[in-house]
A = this chain, B = another copy of it.
Amino acid sequence: MATTELAITISDAEWRVMRIVWTLKEADSRTIIDLLEQQHDWKPATIKTLIGRLVKKGALATTKNGRQFIYTPLIDEQSAMDTALISELNQMCAMHRGTSLAHVLDQLELSHDDVENLIDVLQQKLPTAPTMVACDCLPEDCERSC
């Protein structure tokens, strides 16, 4: 391929727009603006800017429809979520990720099916799980560790 997909980054505010479009599968700006004005104190101009940036970033596609455009997602919601979560976790000490996830799972509202699925995934990992995951906050060759 020719284009180098350098991982699109979506900012916090832009996420709100993407969620609308992901949920509706496609939407014109009128719809996006109306819906977002109900959730935030954003002026229509602000939302227009966000839409524009997402199009420029390649996160949204446009299809001409008479006077306006119809916007559709160019990136997958679940993939975007997974990537964002993994990135966040990779920023943290490997040794403490498990504990943090435990806290998160404990607080988060999850459906029965999700919980079962998660247990399943974990049960699968159990046999091959290493005794411990080392702290990766200091350079490899550093004698100190936590």
Contact = CB atoms under 8 A, between A and B. Distances in A.
Contacts of A82: 100, 103-104
B98 A110 contact: yes
B135 A93 contact: no
Contact of A138 (B35, B110, B113): B35
A contact residues, range: 35 or more
A2 interface: no
A126 B130 contact: no
Interface centre among A22, A99, A135 (most CB of B within 10 A): A99
Contacts of A94: 109
Interface centre among A84, A124, A129 (most CB of B within 10 A): A129
